[in-house]
Structure 1
Amino acid sequence: MNWSTLNKCILVMVLGGLAHITWIAWYLFSFHHPALHHWLNPDYYYFHLSRMLLCCVLQFLLIIPCVIWRHKEWVIQYLPYFIILVFSVSFIYGGYSVGISSPATVAGFISILTVGLVLFERKIVYLLFLPVTVYMLIAIVSSALGYMTYAPVFSDQLNYSVMVFNEFWVYSQLYFYVPIFFATFVLFEILLTQWRNREKQINLMSQMDPLTGIYNRRKIGLELNEIQLQERKFALILLDLDHFKSINDNYGHDIGDNVLKRVANVLRQNIRDTDIVGRFGGEEFVMLLQNKNLRAAMEVAERCRKEIENELFYIDERTTIRVTASFGIAISEFNLNKEAVIRHADQALYLAKKRGRNQVRHYYELQDADVIQKSET
């Protein structure tokens, strides 16, 4: 999927050339085999063989300009059209020779067209395959009405017989189509595998913070939705780096980015596999701890706070700095949605900042403070 158009053209020419080699081998073997010779048209032999050899050689020769002049603008822009045209004409000629409405021709055309639509730009495929399709339909009708010779490679003895009962014809059709089917199957399997991997990468990238390598706010929101749907308990920890703006202002954003990455790593190392850590935005992080009570969440937050405080950041060989973080904790309750839990954690974080920063606070302290304030009044 990541190949350039010229590389895809090379692939098509190689496959087309190999297909013609198999067809030529079948033709030579069948014509010179005493038991099979009578099923082929001797008057068409040299004409057909020379055309097949020409198509085969031409397809391999077209690989050369794709390799030598691959960086030239006119080659990139126009050569793919010519290559697909050559491939289409050579295929349709082969299909006409063995029967324009034969199973191998029709099934092969559908397989090749489908792969072409996946591999190449639509304008290339439609511009060339639409005329070929129209020609095929006209040829099918014309041959059915007797205006065009049908399957000239075969003898009249075979063409005027019931072909489906002729073993030579049946096995020949299988011989023609099986390589096309195999190549199509392999290409589709490769393309689908790449497609699935790309979708996984895109999905993963949409959930990750590109700077720190931890989850982003969107992923945290999705996880909170999933946890609440399953009615599981969780603790939510919000933390904010203290005076982070001064780090960016005094030392530059590259130092600030390094601090964020180191802090994310500290947080990641202090959670279980079932827990989640993410960047909530700017210098704010979130930790989602499943099935944790307040005491366990306080222990995790305090451990992270100490490790962040003890982390040493080098500005240069002589200058180092330390950073601190404030933490706010909220515990899920059956009557609270995720927005309320986040709001409670944010209020607890504000309390930690208000009381001097570099500390861990939880939402229930706010409730206790409200009770004391009311009793005093």
Structure 2
Amino acid sequence: MRTQVVIIGAGPAGLALGRLLEQAGVDAIILERKSANYVLGRIRAGVLEWGSVELLDRAGAGARMHAEGLVHHGTALSFDGDRMHIDFTDLVGKQVMVYGQTEVTRDLMDIRQGTTVYEAEDVQLHDFDGKPWVSYSKDGTTHRIDCDFIAGCDGYHGVSRASLPASAVSTFERVYPFGWLGVLVDKPPVDPELIYAHHERGFALCSQRSPTRSRYYVQVAADEKVEAWSDTRFWDELRRRLDPQTAERIETGESIEKSIAPLRSFVAEPLRFGRLFLAGDAAHIVPPTGAKGLNLALSDVALLGSALIEALQDGSAAGIDTYSVRALERIWKAERFSWWMTSLLHVFPETGDFGRRIQRAEFDYLMGSRAARQSLAENYVGLP
């Protein structure tokens, strides 16, 4: 079998890349080691930069997003009960869209016209410095796909980055000493916009999936077990960390999903290895504080899609030769913003009282400086 591009991974990055390529008439096969139902069962956040919204529109995957997504013109930050509003529209003239990553994946699945092989086992990448090909097993039979390029969109634990010799890639990582305990509940959101809260007991976030479904988070120790948290304990802890007016308005209920997500920052460099390219979580991880994970993945594939189309249809290597540098420039800026938001809003036991006073000074500076709020808004809604 032969195709022009083999895409490893059928998450939003792989599916979006596949869609951009097929719109341009480039043939691509997507290989995914999990089932389609498993992929759609992943619970993920979804705050979309407006550039991501426009990309999904161009891909023809935006109709349900516009019908069901929630446009947010700002967000709220609080510190020990003191609250301020960051007005994106006023500060930078842009907005964000709250629309779950699972729904983005479903929409991209629904419009896909090319071949996607789910439950592809033992995927292996071969000769990506020369004439690349990919092998995999399905229903006990081994298959081979020859191709021009391979796109590794298979996440942090995927085979794409793992196929590289250690000497070929540099990695940069920070693992945070805490995680987010998240609860999904079928109750209306406490506020029309997201609320990020710093409290001496730890960080909290009030988020949402729809007008009737909410997602709430609290900071917990990295070794915390989700079984230790009853719904009652969670709601009590969340209320403690919010300003009194917000805490009083929360509608609690039985959780329909509860999990703990660890926090880490991670970047791999470079992103090109001959005819193999990394994109999305295979290349980078950000803490969820800045809402950048999905947006970075879509930004990567927007660049990569254009580069591959240019190489295959125009015979120009300009795009693929600069993909890694261009993508990493934006990745590191998003890493910086996510690190900054995490540093401002979480409790770091090792920094002590001095660290909290610095955080308070940073919060007060934001409240008093339009320029500081404008910088936050510019990064949150998405850099070009």
Instruction: Return the TM-score normalized by structure 2.
Output: 0.22
Structure having the larger proportion of residues in helix: 1
Structure having the larger proportion of residues in strand: 2
